[in-house]
Amino acid sequence: MKEPQSQPLAFAQALEWDLTPVGVPIFPETVVMSQLPRTDVLILQRQEAAWTAEQLERLPDGIRQSTARHILVEFKYTQSISDDAMLQTLAYDLFYRKSKKLTTDEVQTFLVSAIKPQQDTRKAYGYDNMLYPGVYNSQNRYEKRIQLISLNELADEPYNAVFKLFATHRKEKQKAFELLEQSRNVASIPPGLKSLLSGLLTLGEQDMNQELTPEQVREIGQIWGKAYLSTVPLKERLAGANPAEVISYLKLAGANPAEVMNNFNPEQRLAGLSLEEIEAYLEHRKQHS
């Protein structure tokens, strides 16, 4: 089954937003051969011998422990592990290593599953050894090349947060978003990605078989965001807002500046003005009084 385009796109964009600032390049839909096929995400480790402290704060379990310089990630949102998913991922691993002339130690490939694989399914592919919560390796001859990451089972840690946003269980996604708010500047998320993530947060497992486009998911996120904001008291909505930006918006909306300023005490009204500006204003008032 072909993956709906919105989820892998959002997954790649979220990793790009989160990891690029700390020096981990993300290449969505990376070409693993001179021609198709393409894998969903490629993370290239920097030239340093190990991940930096900043990078470790944002890399999930499994990847953060890897010593390989090249990390391939195949992301499955609507499918659990299957014969096709495993063969496809093994093919990406093989073709990428051959095309780049890399050794097996230089490449680590991960199959990331948004759906929690059932125990019987995992065992069929040899994934009965959990390295870390949600991270499995296989003892089978071929599958041992691929580590399995089950997003619903990852530990509730800030470094797992962006990955867990794409889990299928709503409670896991919500916990991940709360961790993200505590550990990242979520205000820096681009508006398009923010609405896409908001839309994904509202989707549950029953929605996963829908072939939703990125635009449809963004629309869901925008509707959800507006509905949520309508329930938040004005005081909470304005908490942390820059007063100058609020006043500027109110002026553009046609509000009377005097009425706006009447809501501030004298100290708040004068905040941001230099002594020279205050003295010049007082002199102006004296001349025109």
The pLDDT assigned to 223 comes to: 40
- Rounded to whole angstroms, how far apart are CA atoms 195 and 220? 8
Half-sphere exposure of 69 (CA within 13 A, CB side): 9
The pLDDT tens digits of the residues spanning 201-249 come to 776 555 555 555 555 555 544 544 444 444 445 555 555 555 666 666 6
Between 146 and 182, the more confident residue is 146
- pLDDT, tens digit (0-9, with 9 covering 90-100), for 9-34: 788 889 999 999 999 988 877 665 55
Sign of CA dihedral 159, 161, 164, 169: positive
Residue 7: pLDDT band with limits 50, 70, 90:
confident
For a pLDDT cut of 70, what percent of the chain falls above it?
70
Distances (CA, A) of 178 to 31, 51, 61, 277: 34, 25, 18, 43
* Percent of the chain predicted with pLDDT > 90: 40
Bridge partners, residue 132, by sequence: 135
Distance, in Å, from the CA atom of 226 to the CA atom of 134, rounded to the nearest integer, reads 34
More confident residue, 89 or 189: 89
Order of strands across the sheet that contains 129-132: 26-28, 41-44, 70-76, 107-113, 146-150, 135-137, 129-132
Q: What is the pLDDT of residues 34-53, one digit of tens each?
A: 555 666 677 777 778 889 99
Residue 261 — very low, low, confident or very high, per pLDDT cuts 50/70/90? low
132 has a pLDDT exceeding 60: yes
pLDDT tens digits, one per residue of 81-122: 899 999 999 999 998 999 899 999 999 999 999 999 999 999
Q: How confident is the model at residue 60 (pLDDT cuts 50, 70, 90)?
A: very high
Binning the chain into helix, strand and coil, the percentages to the nearest 5 are 50, 10, 35
DSSP letter (8 states) at residue 232: S
Read off the pLDDT of each residue in 256-280 and give the average, rounded to a whole number. 71
d(CA 273, CA 18): 37
β-strand partners of 72: 42, 109
Least confident of 55-64, 104-113, 209-218, 260-269: 209-218
For all residues of the chain together, what is the average pLDDT?
79
Residue 136 has pLDDT above 90, yes or no: yes
Q: CA-based angle 129:63:208, to the nearest 5?
A: 80
211 touches 232 (CB < 8 A): no
pLDDT of residue 142: 92
64 versus 232: the higher-pLDDT residue is: 64
E strand or H helix that includes residue 44: strand 41-44
- As a whole number of angstroms, the longest Cα–Cα distance in the chain is 91
Please state whether the peptide bond connecting residue 37 to the residue before it is cis, i.e. omega within 30 degrees of 0. Answer: yes
Give burial (CB, 10 Å; 0-12/13-18/19+) of 34. Answer: exposed
Mean pLDDT on 56-84? 92
* DSSP letter string, 60-82: PTTTTT---SEEEEEEESS--S-
Is the model's pLDDT at 128 over the cut of 80? yes
